[in-house]
Amino acid sequence: MSNQTTVTEFLLLGFSGVRELQILHFVVFLVLYLASLVGNLLIVTAIALNHRLHTPMYFFLMNLSILDLGSVSVTIPKSMVNSLMNTRSISYSECVAQVFFFLFFVAANFSLLTIMAYDRYIAICQPLHYEMVMNRGACVQMATGAWIIGIINSALHTGNTFTISFCGGNTVDQFFCEVPQLLKLACSDSYLSEVGVIVFGVCFALNCFGFITMSYVQIFTTVLRIPSEQGRHKAFSTCLPHLTVVSLFFCTGSFAYLKPTSSSASGLDLLVAVLYSVLPPMMNPIIYSMRNKEIKGAVSKWMCWRLFSKNKMSICLLR
């Protein structure tokens, strides 16, 4: 316990010790962060202001964008500040908060993607019951459930991680506080207390993935029975963005946690962490906007309205 109480801060792994490369890292992360912020904020704003998009599918998409905003804001800013200030430290309380919120956003994100698969299943396989099943109250309850699951999952992992004793120093081999890297610093007897929670997390992820898989098996079976080619194309087009987002989220996360763990830090570990923590929140708005005419139309209309309002105001001021 004495080792645990002496830990007041952790040292995060930097991408490079060369000052020029640190500045480059800051600039690259700044671009990725701004792209994620702009993309997800545009999705949220377009859906919130366009009454035609107040449907279950877009309600869940708006929640997904909010979660992506939170997820990307937990890890990137601290890493950017450390690169800019040429430091590696993160306080104990900041590390606890980073672990809690990152796990919360990831778990809630996965839960919401599962709910979105169920929404597509009802819309395509049981269209006559869609309005009754996916009513406003049910959608709010499902979204709330996803957020609650995220809180419970995060509380369990964070609580178990930071009640253990850290005997392996305070250097975290990652650019943010990641649970597997923190567990490398734990005493061997304390490490066992996290095993049960890890099993719970794996079962949760497998159940979500299994439910999504079964939903899409039913969806594809139903779509292939549609006689018209136009009807099949329309049904597939509503599912393709969600399926792409699920594949990106699950593949990057699985690769990060199922790859063999190395005893020392490597560039591959950093790259994989960037892939699963930064890439999905940045790519999700692009995927949905590229494959969805309603989203592109709503975003374009809102941007044109903002531009027209500013020009009109400028003309009034000039007069």
Residue 2 DSSP SS3: helix
E-strand ranges in the chain read 9-12, 89-91, 171-172
* pLDDT value at residue 200: 75
Residue 110: name the closest of 253, 221, 235 by CA: 253
- pLDDT confidence bin for 318, thresholds 50/70/90: very low
pTM of the model: 0.84
Q: Which residues have CB under 8 Å from 153's CB, separation 6+?
A: 103, 104, 107, 200, 201, 204
Sequence letter at residue 129 = H
Pair 237, 140: CB distance under 8 Å: no
Model confidence at 227: pLDDT above 50:
yes
* pLDDT value at residue 284: 84
Residue 211: name the closest of 259, 236, 257, 246 by CA: 246
pLDDT in tens, 134-187: 999 999 999 999 999 999 989 988 888 888 778 767 888 888 888 888 888 877
Task: Please give the order of strands across the beta sheet that includes 171-172.
Answer: 89-91, 9-12, 171-172
* pLDDT value at residue 310: 55
Residue 319 DSSP SS3: coil
CA contacts within 13 A on the Cβ side of 180: 17
Q: Which residues have CB under 8 Å from 255's CB, separation 6+?
A: 272, 275, 276
- pLDDT confidence bin for 260, thresholds 50/70/90: low
- CATH superfamily name and code, 2-318: Rhodopsin 7-helix transmembrane proteins (1.20.1070.10)
Per-residue pLDDT, averaged over 239-250, amounts to: 83
Model confidence at 4: pLDDT above 70:
no
* pLDDT value at residue 293: 66
Residue 124: name the closest of 134, 114, 110, 137 by CA: 134
Model confidence at 2: pLDDT above 50:
no
Sequence letter at residue 269 = D
Residue-range domain boundaries for the chain: 2-318
